[in-house]
Amino acid sequence: MTPYDLTVDAGVRDLRAADHLLHTLAAELALPEGVFGCTHLVRGERPRVALSLALPSEPLLRTAQERLTAGGHVVSPGAPDAVGRAVLYPGVSTLTGTLTVAEVLSHSAIARVTVLGTPGGPAPDTPLVTRDHVRPQWQHDELVLTAMPALGGTLVPFEVPEPTPCCADH
């Protein structure tokens, strides 16, 4: 299956708002399960977070383009880059609670789990506490989840669900 990519530039400035917008657009467009929706950091004069959707067919792509444009979104063909942060992907809804690394890999589109500060990957039976927030990134055409060690020999995804804003204590 060849995906048909498009970029949505909605002028969003932070990842949480971009995640929320991706979920909203997927619901409004009634996108099928298994669609990839990613965030991409855009640098330059106007830093922002762009969104990409990889759709399974050209008719769905055309319909999405028309509806998004009619909704006032700036839409362009293709993805902004090859290293998006996946928010929507096959199996994401099953990644809740605590799962083993093997379960994460077998139930989702994530191809590999890496652990910060270690040269090799974790053992398949290593527990991963998902915090119901699993955001892998595209690396060399595969989805890779970066995790970090946590209490009791478990792992947690590197990205936390509700990050503390920079300078929150000032």
pLDDT in tens, 29-66: 999 988 999 999 998 888 999 999 999 999 999 999 99
Domains of the chain, residue spans: 4-88, 92-157
Measured between alpha carbons, how far is 63 from 68 in angstroms, rounded to an integer? 8
The structure's pTM equals: 0.90
According to CATH, the topology of domain 4-88 is Alpha-Beta Plaits (3.30.70)
Measured between alpha carbons, how far is 136 from 104 in angstroms, rounded to an integer? 11
pLDDT in tens, 140-158: 999 999 999 999 999 999 9
At 158, which amino acid appears? Answer: F
